C-alpha cells in the first residue's frame, strides 16, 4: 500500500504539516518496500495534488486536516483520507501507527471534525 502525507520540508524525516492541498511537499511511503520519497507540490492551490498522488499510485493520505474540496477530490480518485492526529510525527511513524491501531477515515459526512 502507498501512503502520502503533506510535509513541512523537502526531507524524508520532515514532520507532517497541518495544511493539506497547499503543502509545498508530500511524502510518499510504500509500506511493502519501506521506501519513501518526497515530491514537490507543483500546484499548491488546493486539491490538484490528488491527481498527482493518484498517478503515483497512492492509496491513502494521512493528514491532520482536510476540507471539503480535498475530501471530494481524493474520494473521486479512489484515495482514502485518514486523520493522523495533531502531534508531531513523520510519515513512516504515522504509517506505523496506522497499521498498529488505525486512524479514523475522513469522509464527506465527518470532514468538519478535521478542519
Residues 20-67 have pLDDT tens digits of 989 999 999 999 999 999 999 999 888 899 999 999 999 999 999 999
Signed CA dihedral, 74, 112, 84, 26: sign only: positive
**At 96, is the pLDDT very low, low, confident or very high (cuts 50, 70, 90)?**
very high
pLDDT at 115 exceeding the cut of 80: no
DSSP SS3 for 108: coil
Q: Give phi and psi for 9, each to the nearest 5.
A: -135, 165
For 25, the 3-state DSSP assignment is: strand
Cell of 6: 503533506
114: confidence class by pLDDT, cuts 50, 70, 90? confident
* DSSP symbol at 103: -
| Domains, the chain, with CATH or none | 2-114 (3.30.420.130)
Cβ atoms of 106 and 100 closer than 8 Å:
no
* H or E segment and range at residue 68: helix 68-76
Amino acid at each position: 500500500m502507498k501512503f502520502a502525507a503533506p510535509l513541512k520540508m523537502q526531507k524524508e524525516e520532515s514532520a507532517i504539516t497541518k495544511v493539506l492541498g497547499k503543502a509545498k511537499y508530500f511524502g510518499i511511503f510504500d509500506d511493502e518496500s519501506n521506501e519513501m520519497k518526497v515530491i514537490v507540490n507543483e500546484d499548491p492551490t488546493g486539491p490538484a495534488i490528488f491527481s498527482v498522488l493518484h498517478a503515483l499510485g497512492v492509496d491513502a493520505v494521512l493528514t491532520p486536516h482536510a476540507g471539503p474540496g480535498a475530501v471530494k477530490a481524493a474520494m473521486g480518485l479512489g484515495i482514502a483520507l485518514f486523520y493522523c492526529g495533531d502531534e508531531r510525527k513523520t510519515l513512516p511513524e504515522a504509517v506505523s501507527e496506522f497499521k498498529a491501531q488505525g486512524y479514523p477515515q475522513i469522509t464527506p459526512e465527518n470532514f468538519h471534525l478535521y478542519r
